[in-house]
Every structure is written in C-alpha cells, then in structure tokens.
C-alpha cells in the first residue's frame, strides 16, 4: 500500500468525526482513554513531541511518527498547521496501524 492510502483513511476518519486535533484536545482525549492512535508529523517541535509521546506512554496509547510533515498531514483533513491527529475509533486506528506498522 502506498503512503497516500493512509492519508485517505485519515481524511475519512476526520470526516466521520472520529478524529481530534490540537495539542490540548489530544492530551485530554488520551487522558479520557478516548484516543486509540496518535499520528504525529515528523516536523513537530521537540516540546510538543515530548508532551504527546509522554502522555501516550503513560496511558498506553500507541503513537506513530509518520514520514510526512505537518502540511501533508494537515491537507489530509483539510485543516492548516496540524502537527498531530488523534484517531478516536478502533477500526480506523487498526487500519492505520496495519498500513503504517
């Protein structure tokens, strides 16, 4: 599968309302155990990366640092300047893990 396919899945999940974006919202979703998978852009700042990955590790939420930058990840959901996306649905998360894993 090509990397484009995972971006299509991310777009579908966003349109289905199964994603959250924004650092604070993602951290809250991790703490509430709503997040099933976190996708992080490869050009995220070190503080944001540490904050999100530390939360993921302490709450047992898997995360993937994708090969794409924030612009590519943002384009997939039609928003601008998104460095991380939380997938809130187990089905979408499983599919993304199989494509990116």
Which tens digits make up the pLDDT trace of 24-44?
Answer: 999 999 999 999 999 999 999
> What CA–CA distance (Å, rounded) separates 69 from 56?
20
Cβ atoms 85, 17 nearer than 8 A:
no
pTM of the model: 0.94
1-9 mean pLDDT: 76
Residues forming a β-bridge with 37: 87
Q: What is the CATH number of domain 3-100?
A: 3.30.1330.30
């Amino acid at each position: 599968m090509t990397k484009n396919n995972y971006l299509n899945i991310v777009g579908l999940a966003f349109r289905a309302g199964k994603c959250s974006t924004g650092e604070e919202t993602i951290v809250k979703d991790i703490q509430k155990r709503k997040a099933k998978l976190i996708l992080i852009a490869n050009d995220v700042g070190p503080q944001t990366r540490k904050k999100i990955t530390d939360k993921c590790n302490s709450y047992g939420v898997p995360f993937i640092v994708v090969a794409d930058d924030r612009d590519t990840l943002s384009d997939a959901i039609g928003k601008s300047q998104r460095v991380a996306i939380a997938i809130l649905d187990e089905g979408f998360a499983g599919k993304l893990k199989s494509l990116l894993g």
